[in-house]
Amino acid sequence: MKNTPHIIQTAEIADTVLLPGDPLRAKYVAENFLENVQQFNAVRGALGFTGTYNGKKVSVFGTGMGMPSIGIYSYELINVFGVKNLIRIGSCGSIQKSVKVSDIVIAMGASTDSNYADQYQLPGTFSAVADFELLSKAKAAADELSLNVAIGNVLSSNYFYCDDVSVNYKWAKMGILGIEMEAFALYLAAARYNAKALCILTVSDSIIEKADMTAQQRENGLNDMIKLSLTMI
């Protein structure tokens, strides 16, 4: 077993890992969707589990919120534990009228308002995009499950509470589907360290239409997203 400052491995970690932000959502996935489950991490409350879904081995791991947090875990999962496929499953706020509450967004690309990419000292602007193979599998799985999905660009923001709300409309003019906080860093890590990454999001609220999920919509919507992510692997 291998260890890092953030992951003390107590069981196998699969080649494919689902990455919810909330560690309790990782626990929920393990308890309600996986079989033969073993917990592989509990350091700092970042719960990680490995089990099987339809006979295929898969892990699920809670990354916390924001690009610095998912940046740490994605780096370690790829470079220390040899993970090949990283699929973020989370939520976003829609900024397009056509993208409704409880819809699912598949992030083909991720823009950002952060300087996260500065660490790579690139002589230009890097386009953070999903792995095409994973994206294709997710679309095929969505069709199989008859799920309404929107595929396009999302914004990975540093700000959950932004003082200037007008920025949402500026990003909307550029075709951004929704706002979340992690995909950009995940896509950069996968690109830099030769792994595959995808971000699948349930629309939890519409920033434009000022609508939120009901409790029932939240449960159903998150379950649909989880089923989609597991069906595609």
Q: Which of 141, 8, 170 is nearest to 80 (CA)?
A: 8
Question: Quick one: DSSP state of residue 173?
Answer: H
Q: Quick check: is 212 catalytic?
A: no
- Give Cα 116 distance to the centre of its chain: 17
Residue 45 to residue 24: CA distance in whole angstroms? 9
Residue 63 to residue 69: CA distance in whole angstroms? 6
Residue 193 to residue 133: CA distance in whole angstroms? 17
Residue 211 to residue 87: CA distance in whole angstroms? 27
**Cβ atoms of 93 and 207 closer than 8 Å:** yes
Catalytic residue among 15, 205, 212, 224: 205
Residue 144 to residue 212: CA distance in whole angstroms? 27
Q: How many H-runs (helices) and E-runs (strands) does the chain carry?
A: 6, 11
* Active-site residue list: 205
